[in-house]
């Protein structure tokens, strides 16, 4: 029995244990899966044996994992960039929140039993990956909206400004996760008070003006020296006579 098949049987056992499907329904869905392929959870919903919300709630309770409430979900672009769009679409995962203090990345998945997926995401992102359960249809729609800007995703939904996430615990309690609080920036000491002159002008202001005046004077002196050198080179004035005039 391959690993993928064992995970499918585990899902059926979990749903039986939760009492949301019967053994007859499970056998029918497994037979359909063997014939046409596909994921067991999706087939159970398609065959109207249970709805997606019931499926997600049952898995959340049985596995002790939170589930995602997509209503009002807002994910920041830096969080989305933790997982490449192609990978997210192929593996049907959606990063929904990131705690930079703990380096925790929360990822929505419709297959929380895939431990290899969590390990792969941890390797790709360098984060400690936590899994949350989502319905397969809702998750696929959210991935299309967030990564590929399909209908239903606007600038507010994409969360360009602030991350917002509502998790539902296995006991059915709402757990609002706020953005991680960053440590406060170090305070900058106030600039020392500049003493004022009797006229009320600051000393630093006068120093700035004097400095600019000095630079202007130096520039003018350099220009005069250049002009004199040109006049001497072209024979308009004599260097010795010029020196005598200056020394008078």
| 113-143 pLDDT tens trace | 777 888 999 999 999 999 999 999 899 999 9
For residue 11, what is the enclosing H or E element? helix 3-18
For residue 93, what is the enclosing H or E element? strand 93-99
**Confidence (pLDDT) at 154:** 42
- Domain residue limits, the chain: 3-50, 62-177, 203-247
Residues of the chain with pLDDT under 50: 1-9, 152-162, 179-183
143 Cβ contact partners less than 8 Å away, ≥ 6 residues apart: 88, 89, 92, 93, 94
**Confidence (pLDDT) at 3:** 46
**Confidence (pLDDT) at 235:** 78
pTM above 0.85, yes or no: no
Phi-psi sector, 67: left (phi>0), alpha (psi -120 to 50), beta: beta
61 Cβ contact partners less than 8 Å away, ≥ 6 residues apart: 18, 170, 171
**Confidence (pLDDT) at 123:** 94
Does domain 62-177 bear CATH number 3.40.50.300?
A: no
């Amino acid at each position: 029995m391959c690993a993928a098949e064992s995970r499918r049987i585990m899902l059926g056992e979990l749903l039986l244990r939760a009492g949301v499907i019967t053994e007859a329904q499970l056998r029918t869905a497994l037979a359909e899966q063997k014939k046409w392929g596909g994921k067991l959870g999706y087939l159970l919903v398609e065959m109207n044996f249970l709805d997606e919300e019931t499926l997600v709630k049952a898995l959340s309770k049985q596995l002790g994992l939170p589930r995602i409430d997509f209503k009002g979900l807002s994910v920041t672009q830096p969080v989305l960039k933790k997982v490449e769009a192609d990978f997210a679409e192929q593996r049907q995962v959606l990063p929904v929140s990131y705690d930079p203090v703990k380096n925790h990345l929360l990822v929505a998945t419709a297959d929380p039993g895939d431990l290899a997926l969590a390990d792969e995401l941890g390797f790709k992102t360098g984060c400690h990956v936590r899994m949350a359960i989502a319905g397969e249809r809702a998750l696929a729609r959210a991935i299309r909206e967030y990564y590929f800007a399909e209908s239903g995703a606007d600038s507010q939904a994409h969360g360009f400004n602030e991350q917002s996430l509502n998790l539902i615990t296995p006991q059915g309690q709402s757990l609002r996760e706020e953005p991680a609080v960053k440590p406060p920036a170090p305070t900058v000491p106030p600039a020392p008070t500049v003493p004022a002159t009797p006229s009320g002008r600051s000393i630093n202001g006068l120093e700035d003006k004097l400095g600019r005046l000095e630079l202007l004077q130096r520039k003018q002196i350099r220009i005069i020296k250049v002009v004199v050198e040109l006049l001497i080179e072209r024979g308009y004035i004599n260097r010795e006579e010029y020196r005598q005039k200056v020394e008078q």
